[in-house]
Structure 1
Amino acid sequence: MFGTAGTVVTGVLIAGALAAPSANASAGTAQSVPGGAAEAKGVKIAAERAAKAGVKWQDCPADWALEKPIQCGWVTVPLDYAKPDGRKIKIAVDRARATGTKAQRQGSLIYNPGGPGGSGMRFPKRVTTKNPLWTKTAEAYDFVGFDPRGVGHSTPISCVDPQDFVKAPKLDPVPDSEADKSVQRKLARQYADGCKKRSGWMLPHMTTPNTARDIDVIRAALGDKKLNYLGVSYGTYIGGVYATLFPTHVRRLIVDSVVNPSKEKIWYQANLDQDVAFEMRWNDWKKWLAKNDAAYHIGDTPAKVQKQWEKLRATAKKKPIGGVVGPAELLGFFQSAPYYDSAWTTVAEAWSAYLAGDEKPLIEAAAPDMTDLAGNIASENSNAVYTAVECADAKWPTSWKKWDRDNTELHKKYPFLTWSNAWMNLPCATWGAKQHTPLEVKAGKNIKPILIVQATRDAATPYEGAVELHKRIKGSRLITEKNAGSHGVTGLVNPCINDRVDAYLLKGKVDAKDVTCAPHATPKPATK
C-alpha cells in the first residue's frame, strides 16, 4: 500500500521527489537479470529514436484539465525493451516551460509522485499556479510530468469494471472468522484473474525497471543529455533503479520519502513494514487529537480516541453510515491522517462533526462518488497499476499459510492497517503473469551526488528505507526531517529542506555531510 505525493489511494483491497553523454549514450551497466543485456541495448535504440523524433508539443486535450501554457505530447517506447522493434506503446507527457531567461535554463525536471499508479501530469501546475516553493527552480527547468506505462493516458490497464470497483460498502477488511478470510481470498483471486483477462498482454512488462527505461527515453526525446528527476514515495524506487541502470545519465536526482530498495523488501516485506509504521503514525495523530480535544471533542487521551475509533468502526459495520460508509470506507478516509499531517485537521473535523450529530461531512469524505465516471476510472486504473507493478517486480509468497501467519501476528500489535494491506496485495499470490527478480539497486563512483529526503516517522515509507538507499548510492546525501512523519517532504514548508533542494537543483550543491532538520510546523486546529 504505497502512496502518491498529496494523494491517498483508498482502494481497500491503496497509497501519498556537465560533461554530458549524447542522447544515444551507453544505457549503463547491464543487470544480472533475465534479458538485462538485451534490454540495455533496446533502451539505447529507443532513446536514439526518441532523440530524433523529439516531442510534438501542442495544447493539451480539453478533458485532461491541463490549461495553457501547459503543453502535452507523446513519447513512443517499446512494450518490451528486449524487442525494440516489436510492439510499441505511447507515454503521455506534459510540460510547463521554464520561466527564466535562456541563460538560466538547465533543462527539464521530470517528476513521478509515486503509487505505483500515480500520474505526474499535474506537476507542471506547480509553475502555472506559481507555487512559492518552486518558483526558483521553475526559472531554471521545464517542469515535465508523465503518466507511467499503464497509467491514465499511457496505454491504461484495467482489472475490473470501474463502477464495480468503487461500489460501497465493501467488506470489513478485519476478518472475524476463517469464513471472512475465505471470502477475501476469493476476491483476491478474482481480481488477479480480472487483471489477466483485461490487461494480460501488458502485465509481464509492468515493471519498475521498464518505467526507469521509459524515463531515459523521455529524457532523450526532451533533448536532455542527462536526467534531472524528482521522485516521491514509489517514485524513489524508480529513481534508485534509474541510478542503477543509468548511473552516467544522472545530473540531478532527488528522492523524497524512500521505498526500501533491498531485494528482500520488494515488495512483500515492504508492505509488512508499512503496517508497523502506520500504527506509529496513527498513534502520533491520536496524541495530537487528545491534545486538541477542546477543538474536536473526540477524546482527551489517546486511549479515549482509540475507543472512539473502535466504536465508529463497530457502528459502521453494524449499519453503514449513510448506507455506504462501512469500516473499509472509513479506513480509506482515515488513513490519510497517518499518511499526511496536512490531513489531520480535515479528518478530525469530519469525525468531530459526526460525533456532534452531523454525518454529512464524513459521508461526503469517505463514500465513493458513483456519478464521477472519470474519477472512478482513474481510481480503478491506479489500483490496477499498483497491483500489476508490485506483482511483476518480484516473486511473492504463494502459500496462504504464510500470509495468514504473518498478518495475524502483525495485526495483534498493529491493527490499524494490517489486514487491509494484506488483502490489497494478496492478488500477487495467484498472479497469472511473469514475476521478475528485483534489481540489486546500487550505484558507485560514476554517479553524480543524489539527494535523499526523509522524515523519521513516515508511515508509508519507513525511515530505514532512506538509510538503505543512502548506503547503496555512493556519494549520496541524506536530509533527515527529525520527529516529523508526513509523506512527501519536499512539498512542505521547511526552509532547512527547501533551501537545500533549491541549492541542489540550481547549483548542484550538496552539504559536505548528511543533514538533520527540525520538523515542519505541526498542524493547528482551525479557529472558528
Structure 2
Amino acid sequence: MTTRRTHRRSRSMFSARSRIAATLLAVTALVVPGCSSGGPATSTSSAAETPKLAALPGAIPSALAPYYGQRLKWRACGVPDFECATLRAPLDYTKPGGGDVQLAVARKKATGPGKRLGSLLVNPGGPGGSAIGYLQAYAGIGYPAEVRARYDMVAFDPRGVARSEPVKCLDGKAMDQYTLTDVTPDDQREVDGLAGEYRKFAEGCGRQSPKLLRHLSTVEAARDMDVLRAVLGDKKLTYVGASYGTFLGATYAGLFPQRVGRLVLDGALDPSLSSRRLNLDQTAGFETAITAFAKDCAQQTDCPLGGPKTTPEQVGQNLRAFLDNLDARPLPTGDADGRNLTESIATTGVIAAMYDEAAWQQLRDALASAMQQNDGAGLLLLSDSYYERDAAGEYSNLMYANAAVNCLDLPPAFETPDEVRRALPAFEKASPVFGKTLAWAALNCAYWPVAPAGEPHRIEAKGAAPIVVVGTTRDPATPYHWAKALAGQLSSGRLLTRDGDGHTAYGRGSTCIDRTINAYLLRGTAPADGTRCS
C-alpha cells in the first residue's frame, strides 16, 4: 500500500533508490513524518502558528564528550576501496548514560589530485534507505570524478536502518500478506481487514524493537550526524541529501546552524506541513507524474492504455479501470510463492515507475503483458523491487524503518477509518488514479505502538552558510512547491530548479544542475536564489 515516505531516487548516474512518501500498504505517511490529525486535509497552519525548530547550544555538553571524542576503527568491508567502522551514539540524548546505539559508517577516501576538502556525507532518503548501500553502489563510484577526488565520500545508516541496529517487524510471509492486502476497501469487512494488517505490522515492530522504536526520530539522527562530523575531524558538515535526506539535512541545519558547511537538499520536503497535507500533496504529485507518463505513452506504438488520439485523461481512466478489475480478478504471475497480481501490488508497481522516466518503457511492457497476455509478472517485479523483496521471499528493513521514523516524527494523518472516508473526496480530486489508495495508505500510523515525538515546524537555521535547495517541477514524490517552501523558510536557502520529470535532480542528465552543484561543492559558489535549469 502506499503511505507516506519520501520516494526513491532514480538509478540514473549516481542517484539512488530513496523512497516515496507513500508506499503501498507498508509505511507511514510521507517523508516528513506525520502531521496533526485534526483539521481538513487542505488546511495548513500559518507561519505565525507553526513552531520553529530551535537550535541547540553551540557548546558540546560534557555528558556527550565521550561520544564526540571517540576514534573510529576503520576496517576493510568487502567492497574494494571502501572501509567501514562503527560509531557509538547515545540511545537517548536526554540520558547519555542510558545505553548506546551502534551506527554503521562507510567511506571511500578522496582519490586526488587536488587539496582534500574534508568529508562529503550522503544520504539517499527513505526514511529507511541504506546510505551505505547507496554510497557503495552509486555515490562512491558515480559522483563526478572531481568531487570524489577532493572529498572523502562518507555515509552512515541512520539508527534503526539496515546495518545500524535495524528495526524488525514481520517475517517474509507476513510481509507478503501485508503487501497483498486490499488498500481500496469496498465495504466494512475490507476496512476491518486493512486496519487489522496495520495493527499486525505495528504490533510486530513494537514486539521486536521495543526500546529502539522510541528513539528513531529525525532529530536524533541529525544529532548522530553531528557526532559523526566531529569524529571525522570536520569543523563543518558538507552533505548531499535526497528526498527524506533533505529533511534530515535541514533538521541538522536547524539544530546546528553554526556547523553548516555546504549542504545540498535535493527533492526537498516542507517540514511545516501536517502528515495529512503531506500525503495529499504527494497524491497530487503522483497524478502529475502519471499525466506526464500518459502523454508520453499515448505517443508510443506499444502503449497498452491508448493510442495517438487518446488524451492523458483517457489513459488515466484506462489505467484506473485496469486496476479496478484486478480488485475483483487478480492475474497469475508465475510466482513461486503463489502470489497473484492484485490491485495493491499493481499500484505499487506503477508508482515505482513514476520515480524515473527511464522506467516508463518497463512499465509499458509490464502493463502490456498484464492487459494483453494476462501475465502479471512484470508488475510484480516492479513492486518487489520497490519493497526490496528478494527471490527467497525476504524483505529488507526499508519498510519497517520507514514506518518507524515517520510515525515517530509526526502525529498520524488519520486516526480512524471514518476520518479517511471523510477525506476521500479531496484525495480522489487530487488524483483520480491514486487518490483512494493513497488516502487509505495514510491510515497506518494510527495503530503505532509509540506516541509521536514531533510536530510540524519551520526550519530557519539562522546564521547558517548558504544552503542549496533543489526542486524538480514534475517530481511525483516531493512536489516542487515543497522545495520552494523549504528554501523560503531557511534564512540562507538558495532555490535551484530543474524543469523536468522524475524524482530529484542531481545526476539525472541536466548539465546545468550538475555544473551548478559541483561548483558549490568544490568552490563554495552557491547559485543565485531562483536559478533555473532544464
Normalised by the length of structure 1, the TM-score is: 0.85
Moved more, 416-425 or 106-115: 416-425
- The answer as to whether partners of 1:123 and 1:143 remain within 8 angstroms in 2 is no
- 1:488 and 1:371 map into 2 onto residues whose CA distance is 24
1:506 Cα offset (Å): 0.1
> What residue number does 1:177 align with?
187
Percentage identity across paired residues of the two chains? 31
Secondary structure in 1 aligned to 2:354?
A: helix
The 5-angstrom pairing of residues 142-161 of structure 1 reads 142-161=152-171
- The answer as to whether partners of 1:230 and 1:253 remain within 8 angstroms in 2 is yes
The 5-angstrom pairing of residues 426-441 of structure 1 reads 426-438=443-455, 440-441=457-458
- The answer as to whether partners of 1:42 and 1:82 remain within 8 angstroms in 2 is no
2:116 aligned with 1:105, yes or no?
Answer: yes
- The answer as to whether partners of 2:26 and 2:178 remain within 8 angstroms in 1 is no
2:252 maps to which of 228, 235, 242: 242
> What residue number does 2:200 align with?
190
- 1:93 and 1:255 map into 2 onto residues whose CA distance is 21
Moved more, 393-402 or 231-240: 393-402
2:390 maps to which of 359, 372, 394: 372
1:311 Cα offset (Å): 4.1
Gap regions ≥5 residues in structure 2: 11-16, 32-50, 333-338
1:127 Cα offset (Å): 7.2
2:100 aligned with 1:88, yes or no?
Answer: yes
1:414 maps to which of 426, 431, 440: 431
Partner AA of 1:145 in structure 2 = A
- The answer as to whether partners of 2:159 and 2:216 remain within 8 angstroms in 1 is yes
> What residue number does 1:122 align with?
133
1:404 Cα offset (Å): 2.3
1:470-524 deviation line (CA, Å, top 9, x unaligned): 1111122111112x23112112110110000100000000133420112xxxxxx
Partner AA of 1:449 in structure 2 = P
- The answer as to whether partners of 1:166 and 1:368 remain within 8 angstroms in 2 is no
- The answer as to whether partners of 2:341 and 2:377 remain within 8 angstroms in 1 is no
2:29 aligned with 1:12, yes or no?
Answer: no
**Change beyond 3 A, Cα 1:190–1:271:** same
Gap regions ≥5 residues in structure 1: 17-31, 519-528
> What residue number does 1:283 align with?
291
- 1:74 and 1:198 map into 2 onto residues whose CA distance is 23
Partner AA of 1:447 in structure 2 = A
Moved more, 462-471 or 403-412: 403-412
The 5-angstrom pairing of residues 121-520 of structure 1 reads 121-125=132-136, 130-131=141-142, 133-167=143-177, 170-262=180-272, 265-292=273-300, 294-300=301-307, 301=310, 302-322=312-332, 323-357=339-373, 359=375, 362=378, 365-366=381-382, 368=384, 372=390, 376-378=394-396, 381-396=397-412, 397-438=414-455, 440-482=457-499, 484-518=500-534
Partner AA of 1:376 in structure 2 = E
1:46 Cα offset (Å): 7.1
- 2:231 and 2:140 map into 1 onto residues whose CA distance is 26
1:282-325 deviation line (CA, Å, top 9, x unaligned): 11111110022x14353111244334423432443333222521
- The answer as to whether partners of 1:387 and 1:425 remain within 8 angstroms in 2 is no
- 2:466 and 2:319 map into 1 onto residues whose CA distance is 45
**Change beyond 3 A, Cα 1:409–1:205:** same
Secondary structure in 1 aligned to 2:101?
A: strand
- 1:154 and 1:493 map into 2 onto residues whose CA distance is 33
**Change beyond 3 A, Cα 1:425–1:413:** closer
Secondary structure in 2 aligned to 1:53?
A: coil
1:221-273 deviation line (CA, Å, top 9, x unaligned): 211111011111111111111110000111110000111110xx142321121
1:457 Cα offset (Å): 1.5
- The answer as to whether partners of 1:168 and 1:329 remain within 8 angstroms in 2 is no
Q: Which has the higher contact order (CA 8 A, sep 6+)?
A: 2
- 1:48 and 1:375 map into 2 onto residues whose CA distance is 44
1:278 Cα offset (Å): 1.0
- The answer as to whether partners of 2:429 and 2:435 remain within 8 angstroms in 1 is no
- The answer as to whether partners of 1:324 and 1:367 remain within 8 angstroms in 2 is no
- 2:179 and 2:529 map into 1 onto residues whose CA distance is 51
> What residue number does 1:22 align with?
none
- The answer as to whether partners of 1:127 and 1:135 remain within 8 angstroms in 2 is no
- 1:128 and 1:203 map into 2 onto residues whose CA distance is 29
**Change beyond 3 A, Cα 1:492–1:184:** same
- The answer as to whether partners of 1:299 and 1:305 remain within 8 angstroms in 2 is yes
- The answer as to whether partners of 2:317 and 2:433 remain within 8 angstroms in 1 is no
- 1:437 and 1:157 map into 2 onto residues whose CA distance is 19
Partner AA of 1:120 in structure 2 = A
- 1:214 and 1:318 map into 2 onto residues whose CA distance is 48
- The answer as to whether partners of 2:331 and 2:374 remain within 8 angstroms in 1 is no
1:69 Cα offset (Å): 1.0
